[in-house]
Amino acid sequence: MAGYGLDDSARLIEETDKTSNRSEFERDRARLLHCAALRRLGAKTQVRTPWRRSDHPVGDDFIRTRLTHSLEVAQVGRELGKALGCDPEIVDTACLAHDLGHPPFGHNGERALAELASQAGGFEGNAQTLRLLTRLESKVYARGRSWGLNLSRASLDASIKYPWRLGEGPAGSDPAKFGVYEPELAAFEWVRRGAPALAKCVEAQVMDLADDVAYSVHDVEDGIVGGSVPPDALAAGPERRAVTVLAAERYWPGGTAALEDAAVRLNALPFWPRQWDGSRQSLAGLKDMTSGLIGRFVLAARAATCEVYGPGPLTRYAAQVVLPPATGAEIAVLKALAAVFVMEPRLEDPVYVEQRTLLKELFGYLMDSAPNSLQPEFQADFTEAPGDQERIRVIVDQLASLTDSSAVIEHRRFTGRPQASSEPSAPGRPLI
């Protein structure tokens, strides 16, 4: 495809193509679709625990998991990338891969593992993704070790959301976000050969924007369905003020005035939901909202990018994805809407505290009883680890691979104690 060369399709371990009718990038996407780490995302939390809630004891099949979120990100990213001239297979692969490294219990679990791994290089879901792709999710074994899925350089580069080590991000970036652990540094440097320092390739920028668009819209949708986000939250009043203040603090540096304008625009859209009662009519209205917002954001980014760089093809490091400030402010408002009404109120809820405690206790048990208590592939890693930091990393690898339900089951098996694992019985209260 135009814009890509042999260097972009190179792999860490050279392979002989078994099916000549496929491009290298099509092979990458197929490997992602068939890998176990992607399947596990179906039982990992996106925002709300998918497999059991106190008000739905048998589970809730409406809310999103990490897997359904990844599929939606891939759809959004593929369309935007294709419009800009990116190879759609590269973007699709990056979008499917972007959350592979997330542990059980969503960001709550990520907080717990970051604390547990603080003396061994930390934990970050995106750095864990690179570790999976280049080491843990074994497809190619050569030279005495696993090389992960052995994806092409372009696909790996597109999957790296934060192309820097811990503590080396650009000014103003979240210090907790980074894209590579020390053991994968050689693979990271191979992937990034010739790339501008700290810069994301166009395909990674498309993936990143698709992720922002998908979760900002869908978290609000899930929140409305779950009863946490009131449809009139962006109408004038203290609730809208709480949303714009948090958006200014966390998601948007342009100040609250632009965010107030964005909230007014969103609330005035003809497809913004006015009520929610669970009926088919309200369900249809909610889907109109999600499709309308996604289309609005993607078309705005496409138009702004093409206005600056022309129609393309825009690939690798030939351009930057341009997001109009007004669009960025609207996305920030949606992120803050979900944060105010769903995420923040839950951080100190007993169930979420228990989830973090569960992972910490499971870590202690595995560390004390390893290697016999570990899964076979991690037993070998633990035995071969040269020091304490490397052994901690192996235990964290196993914990990160667990789903929400398997983490609870493993904890119960090791401790003999039941563990609460449903969500709070009532929606969280907004932070106003």
Query: Where does the pLDDT of residue 52 fall: very low under 50, low under 70, confident under 90, or very high at 90 and above?
Result: very low
User: Which string of DSSP letters, residue by residue, matches 29-76?
Assistant: HHHHHH-HHHHHGGGSBSSS-SS-BTTBTT--SSS-BHHHHHHHHHHH
Token pair 């009043």: residue = 237
Output 73 or 424, whichever has higher pLDDT.
Answer: 73
The structural domains of the chain, ordered by start, are: 6-191 (1.10.3210.10), 202-345 (no CATH), 350-415 (no CATH)
pLDDT in tens, 230-268: 999 999 889 999 999 999 999 998 889 999 999 999 999
Q: Report whether 207 contacts 159 (CB < 8 A).
A: yes
Q: Residue 18: its pLDDT value, please? A: 66
The pLDDT > 70 percentage for the chain reads: 90
Q: Report whether 407 contacts 104 (CB < 8 A).
A: yes
CA distances from 186 to 130, 147, 183 (A): 12, 12, 8
Query: Where does the pLDDT of residue 418 fall: very low under 50, low under 70, confident under 90, or very high at 90 and above?
Result: low
Q: Residue 425: its pLDDT value, please? A: 39
Q: Residue 21: its pLDDT value, please? A: 84
In the predicted model, what is the mean pLDDT of residues 394-411? 95
Start-to-end CA distance of the chain, whole Å, equals 51
pLDDT in tens, 281-326: 999 999 999 999 999 999 999 999 999 999 889 999 999 999 999 9
In the predicted model, what is the mean pLDDT of residues 69-90? 96
Q: Residue 401: its pLDDT value, please? A: 96
How far is the C-alpha of 260 from the C-alpha of 321, rounded, in Å?
25
Query: Where does the pLDDT of residue 348 fall: very low under 50, low under 70, confident under 90, or very high at 90 and above?
Result: low
Token pair 């910490």: residue = 360
Does pTM top 0.85 for this prediction?
yes
Q: Residue 428: its pLDDT value, please? A: 40
Q: Residue 46: its pLDDT value, please? A: 67
The upper half-sphere exposure of residue 118, i.e. CA atoms within 13 Å in the direction of its Cβ, equals 6
Token pair 């009718």: residue = 21
How far is the C-alpha of 71 from the C-alpha of 58, rounded, in Å?
24
Range of lowest pLDDT (13-27, 29-43, 53-67, 142-156): 53-67
Q: Residue 429: its pLDDT value, please? A: 36
CA angle (390, 391, 395) in 5-degree steps: 120
Range of lowest pLDDT (5-19, 52-66, 358-372): 52-66
Q: Report whether 161 contacts 208 (CB < 8 A).
A: yes
Dihedral sign for Cα atoms in the order 58, 63, 65, 70: positive
Instruction: Say yes or no to pLDDT of 226 above 80.
Output: yes
Residues 6+ apart with CB under 8 A from 61: none
- The pair of three-digit structure tokens given for residue 210, joined into one six-digit string: 């698709």
How far is the C-alpha of 418 from the C-alpha of 400, rounded, in Å?
21
Backbone φ/ψ region at 310: left (φ over 0), alpha (ψ -120 to 50), beta: left
Query: Where does the pLDDT of residue 58 fall: very low under 50, low under 70, confident under 90, or very high at 90 and above?
Result: very low
Q: 196 — phi, psi (to 5°)?
A: -60, 140
Q: 46 — phi, psi (to 5°)?
A: -90, -70
Q: Residue 121: its pLDDT value, please? A: 96
Give the DSSP letter of residue 91: H
Runs of H (alpha helix) within 324-375: 325-338, 350-369
How far is the C-alpha of 302 from the C-alpha of 297, rounded, in Å?
9
Closest CA to 93 of 163, 143, 160, 17: 160
Query: Where does the pLDDT of residue 49 fall: very low under 50, low under 70, confident under 90, or very high at 90 and above?
Result: low
Runs of H (alpha helix) within 50-152: 66-84, 88-97, 106-116, 125-131
How far is the C-alpha of 253 from the C-alpha of 340, rounded, in Å?
18
How far is the C-alpha of 58 from the C-alpha of 321, rounded, in Å?
43
Instruction: Say yes or no to pLDDT of 424 above 60.
Output: no
Q: Report whether 260 contacts 244 (CB < 8 A).
A: yes
CA distances from 21 to 25, 27, 86, 224 (A): 12, 10, 20, 46
Which residues sit opposite 45 in a β-bridge?
65
pLDDT in tens, 120-146: 999 999 999 999 999 999 999 999 999
Q: Report whether 112 contacts 384 (CB < 8 A).
A: no
Q: Residue 345: its pLDDT value, please? A: 59
Instruction: Say yes or no to pLDDT of 62 above 80.
Output: no
- The pair of three-digit structure tokens given for residue 196, joined into one six-digit string: 């501008």
pLDDT in tens, 162-220: 999 999 999 988 999 999 999 999 999 999 999 999 999 999 999 999 999 999 999 99
Q: Residue 3: its pLDDT value, please? A: 87
How far is the C-alpha of 66 from the C-alpha of 72, rounded, in Å?
10
